[in-house]
Structure 1
Amino acid sequence: MPTPYRYVTPVPTEAAAGLIAQVYAQIARDFGMARMPLFLTLSPAPEVLAATWAMLRESLVAGQAPRAAKEVVATGVSLANKCPFCVDAHTVLLHATGEHELAETVARGGKPSDPEHARLFAWATGTATSGQAPPCPEGHAAEHIGTALAFHFINRMVSSLLTDDLLPAGLQRSRLVRGLGGRALAKTVRRRLPQGEALPLLHGLPSGPAPAWAAGAPAGTAFAALRAVAGEGDHLLGDSAREAVVEAVAAWDGEHPPLSGWPSGPLADVAPAQRPAAKLALLAALAPYRVADADVAAWREAGGGRSDADLVRLLAFGAITAVRRIEAALAVPA
């Protein structure tokens, strides 16, 4: 039977232990799905798995801001990043909130009829280019910024490591299927969950200072851990490769890279032996939907550490490098 997994073999839920099992259990409890492809595909690198889940939970799943509004942000970011898997998934979750017309409107990139949702959707789709603060009540800003940054990271990992199909044969593209899936998840999605319960999963992992936009909210602690954990993937790149990736992302204008001449231009001065890793990291940062079988094969053949865990960590480094660039440009609400 076809699976959505492209380049890694996930840790099955029945074989999970330790931190992986703890994360899987909390996902099943709080998200309502025991087998989420994104988190399964991150499982070879448990620290990336835990930090990604914590970031998602503490921004999107828990908190005070309406879940439907945050799902609008998640869908808008996913559309802007050309991540159909995530667009489909969060269309289903918007159905689960009871916002059926809104779900289908944003799934096709249309403008929501509700002015608040329309402003949030426009903000979300422009977060890589506009640098504006979210148009929402001050007390909800951290959750909306956290959701947007979470999905800038998640979209990049999903596009790199999963196929476009959430369900076999693309069944998720049917409005009927999406509506039924939403109804099945409605009870879980409409619960109001307390914040902070994912933070114990981060104990012992690298971290750093919480960002100013979080204003002390748990999403800031989760983001600090994700930033540190994913950043440690830089050890899989040589010095010239790391510098080339960081410089290319720093010069990025937030738009999708051209189809011709990229990324060979930014990587022209990288040593040939380091180029496969640099290409994967840069693709993950700026065009993850272009990661191809040949790119992963070239990286594996280049020698050194080439496990599934290494691949997850390398792609996570590229993804977080782009996310940090986006975060740095976002205005922090007063």
Structure 2
Amino acid sequence: MAGPFRYVTPVEPQRATGRIAQVYAQIAEDFGMARMAVLMTLSPSPEVTAATWAMLRESLLAGAAPRTGKEVVALGVSMANRCPFCVDAHTMLLHATGDHRLAEAIARGDTPADPAHAALLAWAGATGGPVRPGPFPAELAHEYVGTALSFHFINRVASTLLTDGVLPANLQRSRLVRSMGGRVLTRTVRRRLPVGTSLAMVADLPARPEREWAAGTPVGAAFATLEAVAGSGGELLGDGARTAVTDAVEVWDGTPPPMNTAWLDGPVAALPAADRPGARLALLTALAPYRVTDTDVATWRASRTGGRTDEDLVRLCAFGAITATRRVEALITPTEHVTAEDRS
């Protein structure tokens, strides 16, 4: 299929039914786009798609925090995670907020002139080290933290399952095109959306306990669902392989792994040969999704007689992505409420 999709064939909007049709309809209404590549590439798994949309909508699109500040966070996280697709998309969306100078300053690698935006960008781009208070009011923490965690998850699945091209021939790299693309979405981006309206689409899905930083909010409910739904992709791995992935991510300090493969080969070396491709792909998605290759995916698909489905691939990548996202959560929020059982 032409477009940015790698490895999976998405459900096209005109053929969508059930949960996927509901998600696509709300994306068109609330995001102003009939086609949203990141959600489409997840569409072979309706549950993962709906849970991801709920988390994205309730943290970034809805709520009381300024959309400009949350777009700065989305962009800062995407830059730190080396996700060109998301960097380009959210540079355009920052243009859509009307702050064109801010969008281009960040695109050039400059520090924003506004100290508040500079602090948000720095916070979003730094996941390692001790927990630091976020540069935002406590009553808005669930929106800013939720936006950051949304993009730690989304960046990973996007880098694994999409190409870099938001627009044909990478036209989004042009300042003029970025600005024009943002203007098209201005009216939608500047709307104030009601909170919680995505939750009906995931009400029947499993959920983990809500986290303290977002308990009692739509963001908290959405993240609890995303954790459970994406985490269930670990069922595609054997117990040993699943443990190898979670243990390796548990000690990750938030920085990009080295270019050598020792960090990757070590955790999977002791696994049975049939289990290594899945563990390798999940661990790459978690910590270095931009290094996933055609061979990695093809080897994993061939590791089971009869192959693997697109839904299997989405679910496995979602497991790797949420495992890393939960580790980031522990690095940017107080961790006393994150138990070993929560991380399993």
Shorter-chain TM-score: what band?
Answer: over 0.9
Q: Secondary structure at the match of 2:133?
A: coil
Mapped contact 2:131–2:334 kept (Cα < 8 A): no
Mapped contact 1:129–1:255 kept (Cα < 8 A): no
1:315 to 300, 317, 335: 317
Mapped contact 1:75–1:107 kept (Cα < 8 A): no
Counterpart code for 2:3: T
Separation in 2, partners of 1:208, 1:300: 29
Displacement of 1:140 after TM fit? 1.4
TM-score normalized by the length of structure 2: 0.94
Counterpart code for 1:192: R
- Residue 304 of structure 2 corresponds to 303
CA offsets 1:179-230 (integer angstroms, 9 cap, x no match) = 0000000000000111100010112111021111014221010000000000
The 5 A counterparts of 1:155-170 are: 155-170=155-170
Pick which of 119-128 and 59-68 moved more: 119-128
The 5 A counterparts of 1:70-109 are: 70-109=70-109
Displacement of 1:129 after TM fit? 4.4
Mapped contact 1:51–1:222 kept (Cα < 8 A): yes
- Residue 131 of structure 2 corresponds to 131
- Residue 181 of structure 2 corresponds to 181
Runs of 4+ aligned structure 1 residues displaced above 4 Å come to none
Separation in 2, partners of 1:259, 1:285: 15
The percent identity for this pair of structures is 63
Question: Is 2:328 aligned against 1:326?
Answer: yes
Question: Is 2:297 aligned against 1:290?
Answer: no
Separation in 2, partners of 1:163, 1:261: 23
Q: Secondary structure at the match of 2:267?
A: coil
Displacement of 1:257 after TM fit? 1.0
TM-score normalized by the length of structure 1: 0.97
Displacement of 1:108 after TM fit? 3.1
**Unaligned stretches of 5+ residues in structure 2:** 336-344
Displacement of 1:110 after TM fit? 2.0
CA distance change for structure 1 residues 41 and 165 in 2, over 3 Å: closer, same or farther?
same
Displacement of 1:107 after TM fit? 2.3
Separation in 2, partners of 1:230, 1:102: 34
Separation in 2, partners of 1:332, 1:186: 36
Mapped contact 1:127–1:148 kept (Cα < 8 A): no
Counterpart code for 1:188: T
CA distance change for structure 1 residues 252 and 94 in 2, over 3 Å: closer, same or farther?
same
CA offsets 1:289-333 (integer angstroms, 9 cap, x no match) = 011000000001111561000000000000100111111222359
The 5 A counterparts of 1:1-334 are: 2-262=2-262, 263-303=264-304, 306-332=308-334
Displacement of 1:267 after TM fit? 1.2
RMSD over equivalenced CA pairs, Å: 1.3
